[in-house]
Amino acid sequence: MAHVAFLGLGVMGYPMAGHLVKAGHDVTVWNRTEAKAATWSATYDGSHAATPSDAIAGAEFVFLCLGDDPDVMAVFDAMEQAISADSIIVDHTTASAGLARALAARSREKGASFVDAPISGGQAGAEKGQLTIMCGGEEVAFDKARPIMQAYGKRMTLIGDSGAGQLAKSVNQICISGIVQGLAEGMHFADEAGLDIAKVMEAISGGAAQSWQMENRWETMSRGEYEHGFAVDWMRKDLRIALETARENGASLPLTAMVDQYYADIQAMGGQRWDTSSLLARMGRRVK
């Protein structure tokens, strides 16, 4: 059993922290909205604290699962004085590689270690404890954190030094955006051609066109249901990070930039909280 703090109880963090309790760890949580932390404590028989520094007092492992760079920075600032030497801080937020490197340096000054560990798998993956975790940092810290993360992660990979996990998450989001756009265009084409979409998907899903998005999203997309996964607002945040990093490192991302603007169209349609498969909606597919 480890003494663990978990900061940030959004749709991902809430069940992830719960899995840590189920795995037998002593967990204290903090959330910006304290009422949610109190509800979590009642649900999982855990503890909650009023401030980030109170939450991490004496913790061997500190997990963050927040929104964006400014959120991570604000919470880190608030808890920095309470960081214990030899503790391991794991940031599951999708944030910038530059932030990860900066916080790794600040953690070392406190005698602690920092692992950037963005996650993939969506709300369903968090609830089922089957997330993919891409990590950056020192191997020793990763090896210590890995058994704890196994409570909610099915695949954990150390990519490289600090920031590498965040860069790998950008690769993940770049690939997803292109795949979803391709699926949306294919389904739109099938519609306009008067094809039976179910038969088309049956025919092509066993071949080279197959993807996780096709397997798990074509039916809900066909019905105009977009409440089943990662929100458009979150994807645009992630793509913004990817595009900003590309401008720094010289990578060419024309498809990603185009799809990012398509997601801006979805936001303008009121689909900020629709899932990422809603790219089909901008082509005229009805929305329930």
Catalytic center residues: 169
Distance between CA 124 and CA 136 in Å, rounded? 24
Distance between CA 261 and CA 246 in Å, rounded? 16
Give 58-122 as a DSSP string. T-SEEEE--SSHHHHHHHHHHHGGGPPTT-EEEE-S---HHHHHHHHHHHHHTT-EEEE--EESH
Instruction: Record the tokens describing residue 241, joined without a space.
Output: 């990070």
Are residues 30 and 52 in contact, defined by beta-carbon separation less than 8 angstroms?
yes
**Burial class (CB within 10 angstroms; exposed 0-12, middle 13-18, buried 19+) of 105:** exposed
**Nearest of 13, 9, 275, 8 to residue 127 by alpha carbon:** 13
Distance between CA 25 and CA 2 in Å, rounded? 5
Distance between CA 17 and CA 13 in Å, rounded? 6
